[in-house]
Amino acid sequence: MDLRQTSEACARNRGPILEVLRRVFSSSTQVLEVGSGTGEHAAFFAGMLPHLLWQPTDVAAHLPGIAAWRDTVALPNLRAPRVLDVDAAEWPVDGVDAVFTSNTLHILSWESVGHFFQGVGQMLLRGGVLAVYGPFSDDGRHTAESNARFDAFLRERDPLSGLRDWQAVDALAKQQGLSLTGDHAMPANNRMLIWRHSL
């Protein structure tokens, strides 16, 4: 049985994301991906960025699908997926010089978003880079009608989820010694925010 899952969003956004990652991860060696989902991003980016050792992670239920994609591409720089709970006090990974996550912060509760940045602050080495892709609001305002509809859908499904203000997210990052160094406009009203660990 083929456990691989596919995502239309992944197919659409992986090219533009790759162009940013080529630049911001050019000097990195080990990437922790938080919330790998289907595993397609891990399989694609590990193949396109062979200088990076890519560590996919997610909740246990998603690991079989991620492992299936890993088996398909059979890349030496793509590690076996590991369970990672962003709310855990300690993450089960060693220090890395890059962290990537895509379309996760609007799924997590705001408390868990805070835990995400705490975990990144603990695991990301000095000078390391955090890249976060997804939709964001701007000082309480949606930047597109499609984002407003998506936010309403998320909050109806789970009142604790929803699009996050990039300013509020940046404030959490600053508490962990992360400095915002890039804000890239992406297709479909998404953004790629880049921080560097300065502590």
2-16, 122-136, 173-187: the lowest-pLDDT one: 2-16
CA–CA separation, 133 and 17 (whole Å): 8
Q: Is the pLDDT of residue 1 over 50?
A: no
CA–CA separation, 131 and 13 (whole Å): 14
The confidence score (pLDDT) of residue 139 equals: 84
The confidence score (pLDDT) of residue 12 equals: 75
Q: Is the pLDDT of residue 160 over 90?
A: yes
Q: Is the pLDDT of residue 199 over 70?
A: no
The confidence score (pLDDT) of residue 149 equals: 93
What confidence tens digit (pLDDT) does each residue in 94-113 have?
Answer: 889 999 999 999 999 999 99
Q: How many CB atoms lie within 10 A of CB 92?
A: 10
The distance from CA 113 to its chain's CA centroid, rounded to whole angstroms, is 12
15-19, 71-75, 146-150: the lowest-pLDDT one: 146-150
Q: Is the pLDDT of residue 126 over 70?
A: yes
Average pLDDT over residues 117-133: 96
What confidence tens digit (pLDDT) does each residue in 42-95 have?
Answer: 999 999 999 999 999 999 999 999 999 999 999 999 999 999 999 998 888 888
Contacts of 72 (CB under 8 A, 6+ apart): 4, 43
For 56, counting Cβ atoms within 10 Å of its Cβ (0-12 exposed, 13-18 middle, 19+ buried), the class is buried
| pTM of the predicted model as reported, rounded to 2 decimal places | 0.93
Average pLDDT over residues 173-195: 95
The confidence score (pLDDT) of residue 9 equals: 67
SS3 track for the chain: CCCCCCCHHHHHHHHHHHHHHHHHCCCCCEEEEECCCCCHHHHHHHHHCCCCEEEEEECHHHHHHHHHHHHHHCCCCECCCEECCCCCCCCCCCCEEEEEEECCCCCCCHHHHHHHHHHHHHHEEEEEEEEEEECEEECCECCCHHHHHHHHHHHHHCCCCCCEEHHHHHHHHHHCCEEEEEEEEEHHHEEEEEEEECC
The distance from CA 164 to its chain's CA centroid, rounded to whole angstroms, is 14
Q: Is the pLDDT of residue 26 over 80?
A: yes
In terms of Cα–Cα distance, which of 181, 58, 175 is closest to 128?
A: 181
pLDDT over 70 percentage in the chain? 94
The confidence score (pLDDT) of residue 5 equals: 63
| Mean per-residue pLDDT over the chain, rounded | 92
Q: Which two tokens stand for residue 9?
A: 């969003």
Domains belonging to the chain, first-starting first, are: 8-197 (3.40.50.150)
